[in-house]
């Protein structure tokens, strides 16, 4: 199984095979312990995990995950 989680170092989304204990972030190289990551989603295959990541990116649209409402302020 694969998990989708956010890198605790740089905040980018990454996927990891749960067969492994650690995963190096493809963006910053941070070595994360899978058991310490906050799991955002699970997937059965790497293909599905990629699709989930795409979906999460579209939904959040912001690497930090923070929602900003600047556009709606007067
Ligand atoms: Zn990172």
Structure tokens at 47: 């293909």
- Ligand 1 centre from 74 Cα, in Å? 35
Q: 17-21, 54-58, 67-71: which has the minimum mean pLDDT?
A: 67-71
Determine the average pLDDT of the residues in 15-26: 95
Contact 32, 26 (CB under 8 A): no
- Residue 30 predicted with pLDDT over 60: yes
Share of the chain above pLDDT 90, in %: 73
pTM of the model: 0.75
- What's the whole-number average pLDDT of the chain? 87
Going from the Cα of 64 to the center of ligand 1, the distance in angstroms, rounded, reads: 11
For residue 73, the CA-to-ligand 1 centroid distance in Å is 32
CA of 22 to the centre of ligand 1 (A): 13
What domains can be seen in the chain, in order of their start residue? 2-72 (3.90.820)
């Amino acid at each position: 199984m694969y998990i989708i989680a956010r890198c605790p170092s740089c905040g980018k989304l990454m996927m990891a095979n749960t067969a492994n204990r650690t995963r190096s972030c493809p963006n910053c190289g941070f070595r994360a312990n899978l058991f310490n990551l906050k799991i955002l989603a699970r997937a059965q295959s790497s293909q599905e995990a990629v699709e989930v990541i795409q979906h999460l990116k579209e939904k959040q649209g912001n690497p930090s995950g923070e929602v900003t409402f600047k556009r709606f302020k007067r």
